[in-house]
Amino acid sequence: MTARLIDGNALAQQIRSDVAARAAALTRIGRTPGLAVILVGDNPASQVYVQHKVKDCEGAGMRSVLEKYDATISQAELLARIQALNEDPTIHGILVQLPLPAHIDPQRVIETISPAKDVDGFHVQSAGALMVGQPGFKPCTPYGCMKMLESIGYDPKGKHAVVIGRSNIVGKPMAMMLLQASATVTICHSATADLGHHTRQADIVVAAVGKRNVLTADMVKPGAVVIDVGMNRNEAGKLCGDVDFEGVRQVAGWITPVPGGVGPMTRAMLLVNTIEAAERAAARG
Ligand SMILES: Nc1nc(=O)c2c([nH]1)NC[C@@H]1CN(c3ccc(C(=O)N[C@@H](CCC(=O)O)C(=O)O)cc3)C=[N+]21
């Protein structure tokens, strides 16, 4: 048996067209959604990602503003720029591309973004809202993973989910969302003694480490759903995830590919959060 693929590109396309319809409705009442993307420095990967986000907005009929700053910008200047965007009624979402140069404290930057415009879902208030089950913005990557489960009709309730990785932007919020969906959740990380012991019991495995071949076929229960959040390059420079895809697909029931899996969903959920922010702003008047 080989696993069925969860096609992130196809699902992201559906989500984008839904967002486009919602954006058109806001435009009709003179409230075109607007996303501000801030890029500091000239990290080539960040340049590409940021261009994608701008293009995604255009495709969905939303306005985007790309602000590029030299790597030498002071933290104070950057914070002042964010404060100005917080006040700007035409901007509904603010994203500061990470990583930032070493002299800038990323948490300080994130906390300066108005929680109402925190479409990355990285603000402590967003994290707190997720933790207590209040409305807020969910981080795009784990939010996209939940949508992928939903798309295959998979209800996490009563299932055992193992999340590998404990970052603030993926692992921890992923575990929270699965818990909210009534899964039994185990979080594994670099100090976990026997990773395979845990993953072999999992109905759902989410690999979010940033290292190749973290999950191999011998570590997967037959039929499990495997979600690969990793974004790595192999020796040949080819994009690959954290999962040994060729091996694991022989055992799993469902698997997400890299590329074409979680990545496109992350981008789609940014649009969802932005349209949500714009709709909430319109409802406030
Ligand atoms: N404030 C902030 N928010 C982010 O969401 C954020 C960030 N900073 N910094 C960098 C990471 C990385 N990230 C990706 C999203 C989609 C793909 C993606 O669409 N990947 C394609 C492949 C793209 C390619 O070929 O390189 C895929 O998996 O199919 C990749 C990477 C968002 N990030």
Which residues line ligand 1 at a C-beta cut-off of 6 Å?
49, 95-98, 120, 140, 231, 239, 258-260, 263-264, 266-267
> Rg of the Cα trace of the chain?
19
- β-strand 232-233 against 239-240: which pairing, if any? antiparallel
Give φ, ψ of 167 to 5 degrees: -70, 160
CA of 95, closest atom in ligand 1:
1
Instruction: From the CA of 48, give the closest atom in ligand 1.
Output: 26
Overall average pLDDT of the 129-152 stretch? 98
Q: Which pLDDT tens digit goes with each residue over 201-220?
A: 999 999 999 999 999 999 99
Closest residue (by CA) to atom 26 of ligand 1? 239
262-276 mean pLDDT: 98
The string over 240-276, giving b where at least 16 C-beta atoms fall within 10 Å of a residue's C-beta and e elsewhere, is bbbbbbebbbebbbbbbbbebbbbbbbbbbbbbbbbb
Which of the four CATH numbers 1.10.10.10, 3.30.70.260, 3.40.50.720, 3.40.50.620 does domain 140-262 have? Answer: 3.40.50.720
The closest of 231, 242, 215 to 264, measured between CA atoms, is 231
Reported as a single tens digit per residue, the pLDDT across 247-261 is: 999 999 999 999 999
Tens digit of each residue's pLDDT (9 = 90 or more) over 144-166: 999 999 999 999 999 999 999 99
* Domain chopping of the chain, boundaries: 29-115, 140-262
How far from the centroid of its chain's Cα atoms is residue 155's Cα? 20
Testing ligand 1's pocket by substitution, the residue of 266, 269, 271, 274 carrying the most ligand atoms inside 8 A of its CB is: 266
Does 167 show up as a binding residue in the annotation? yes
Active-site residue set: 53, 97, 120
The SS3 of residue 245 is helix
How far does residue 215's CA lie from ligand 1's centre (Å)? 21
Q: In this model, does residue 194 exceed pLDDT 80? A: yes
Please tell me the residue having the least CA distance from ligand 1 atom 21: 263
For residue 69, the model assigns a pLDDT of: 98
Q: What are the structure tokens assigned to 229, written together?
A: 């959040």
Q: How far is CA 34 from CA 49, 123, 134, 200, 273, in A?
A: 18, 19, 24, 44, 11
Quote the mean pLDDT of the chain. 97
Is 190 annotated to bind ligand?
A: no
Pocket test for ligand 1, best of 9, 126, 231 (most atoms within 8 A of CB): 231
User: Is the pLDDT at 1 greater than 80, yes or no?
Assistant: no
Fold equal for 29-115 and 140-262? yes
The reply to whether 230 sits in an annotated binding site is no
Residue 285's pLDDT is what?
85
Give the HSE-up count for residue 51: Cα atoms under 13 Å, Cβ half-sphere: 7
pLDDT tens, 61-105?
999 999 999 999 999 999 999 999 999 999 999 999 999 999 999
What is 29-115's CATH number?
A: 3.40.50.10860
Give me the pLDDT at residue 53, please.
96
Quote the pLDDT of residue 21: 98
